[in-house]
Amino acid sequence: MATIIAKDITTMPWQDRPKNHLGPVWRYDNNPIIGRNPKPGVARIFNSAVINKDDGFIGVFRAETTATLPHLRLGRSQNGIDWEIDDDPIRFIDEKGNPWQPYYAYDPRLIEIDDVCYIVWCTDFFGPTIGLAKTTDFKTFVRLENPFIPFNRNGVLFPRAINGTYRMLSRASDNGHTPFGDIFVSESPDLIHWGRHRHVMERGGSGWWQGLKIGGGPAPIETDEGWLMLYHGVCNTCNGYVYSMGVALLDKDEPSKVIYRARDYILTPEMPYEETGFVPNVVFPCATVHDAKTGRIAIYYGAADTYVALAFSTVDLLIDFAKTHHESVGGDAYEGR
Ligand code: BMA
């Protein structure tokens, strides 16, 4: 039995695993939880991040306007399933208090560290790179320095400092749809200066579903066996990219060390809302809500760049899957290397 090291969140969304379900992850039976044209002027909301806050849930959502430009919006929910999305984008200020807005903002992650909530997203800085902002009240959002130079995507903060330094996953990329990419981890003493970059995991693995590129997903979940990392893996087909979800377990003190990495995906596009949409065949996890008491995990993922969907698992099922379906780890995932 593995244990999640985090808060108890007994109000988190949950459905039991259907009888005879194969695989460690099952979908919410009323998916998607956010549909098309959810707000005036917003065509789609997807790839979004949620945390438990006070008695309910709060989220930072990737909203794509009818002019097809992504920005970030706040949303609130009592049950983590039915969401009230704000009428306006999140407004940022810089550290001097002046208004500051990114030209575009997408794929947010929301991570609470010591009562401060951080938004990490893909921002525009002479091309895509990682943006960072903080808030304590979800009214004032202070934009901090960009952690990395372009091009970079999929910045994911760990939910606590490890041996005195903050850690962030990221993936170096290009200015387009990036036909390559591995997951790296970087360290910072202050969330301003980043270094000691380490390679975590290489694309490839023993399966083509993650052969083109891989990227961080939700903030890693701390367990007594290590950091449980969900991530996306991409397959290059003759008809475009296919985004699936994978699982790995990282070392507790040195998260660049992979302990187990599952060879098989844990979720792949199968449902109509995952196979059809603005970009077909995408499942893209950005957040989990998890309960230390029961070991339950709710996974929020974007579907087909069009919807927000929900799936469930437990810490035991995911760690067991990573262990029993594992492949060789480290930088040698390609056959023959
Ligand atoms: C990636 C990002 C994601 C998106 C995915 C599939 O490069 O832009 O936001 O879900 O492509 O289109």
pLDDT tens, residue by residue, 126-148: 999 999 999 999 999 999 999 99
As given in the structure block, the two tokens for residue 310 are 């929900």
Measured in Å, residue 70 CA sits from the centre of ligand 1 at 11
Ligand 1 closest atom vs CA 70: 9
Expressed in angstroms and rounded, the spacing between residue 98 Cα and the centre of ligand 1 is 31
Spatial CA neighbour of 266 closest among 326, 211, 197: 326
**Which DSSP category does 20 fall into?**
T
Chain-centre distance for alpha carbon 117: 15
For residue range 262-294, list pLDDT tens digits in order: 999 999 999 999 999 999 999 999 999 999 999
pLDDT given at position 120: 98
Q: Cα of 303 to ligand 1 centre, how many Å?
A: 10
Determine the distance separating the centroid of ligand 1 and the alpha carbon of 324, expressed in angstroms: 30
Decide: 107 in ligand 1 pocket, CB within 6 A: yes
Mutate to test the pocket of ligand 1, among 47, 276, 308 (most ligand atoms within 8 A of CB): 47
Tell me the backbone φ, ψ of residue 244, rounded to 5 degrees. -120, 180
CB of 284 sitting under 6 A from ligand 1? yes
From ligand 1's centre to the CA of 242, what distance in Å?
10
The answer, yes or no, to whether any atom of ligand 1 lies below 6 A from the CB of 279, is yes
Answer yes or no: are the C-beta atoms of 108 and 286 closer than 8 Å. yes
Nearest CA, atom 12, ligand 1: 279
Residue nearest atom 11 of ligand 1, based on CA coordinates: 177
List phi, psi (to 5°) of 210.
Answer: -120, 30
**CA pair distance 295, 290, nearest whole angstrom:** 7
Closest atom, ligand 1, to C-alpha of 62: 9
Closest protein CA for atom 1 of ligand 1: 177
Ligand 1 contact, 281 CB (< 6 A): no
Cβ neighbour number for residue 69 with a 10 Å cutoff: 12
Q: Which residue has the tokens 């996974």?
A: 299
The pick from 235, 284, 306, 308 for probing ligand 1's pocket by mutation, whose C-beta has the most ligand atoms within 8 angstroms, reads 284
For residue 324, give the DSSP letter. Answer: H
Span from the CA of 317 to the centroid of ligand 1 (angstroms)? 27
Q: Is the CB of 302 under 6 A from ligand 1?
A: yes
| Residue 272 confidence (pLDDT) | 98
Low-confidence ranges of the chain (pLDDT < 70): 327-337
Nearest-CA residue for ligand 1 atom 9 is: 107
Q: State the sign of the Cα–Cα–Cα–Cα dihedral 72, 171, 307, 32.
A: negative
**Residue 327: its pLDDT value, please?**
66
Compute the 3-state secondary structure of the chain and give helix, strand, coil in percent, each to the nearest 5. 5, 50, 45
> CB atoms < 10 A from the CB of 26, how many?
17
Alpha carbon 202 to its chain centroid, in Å, reads 18
| Torsion angle, alpha carbons of 236, 237, 240, 243, to 10 | -50
- Nearest C-alpha neighbor of 288 from the set 195, 221, 197, 207: 221
pLDDT for the residue 326: 74
Q: Which pLDDT value is given to residue 328?
A: 53
Q: What is the pLDDT of residue 124?
A: 97
Instruction: Read off the pTM.
Output: 0.96
The reply to whether ligand 1 has any atom less than 6 angstroms from the CB of 47 is yes
Helix H or strand E segment including 321: helix 315-324
Q: How many A from CA of 11 to the centre of ligand 1?
A: 31
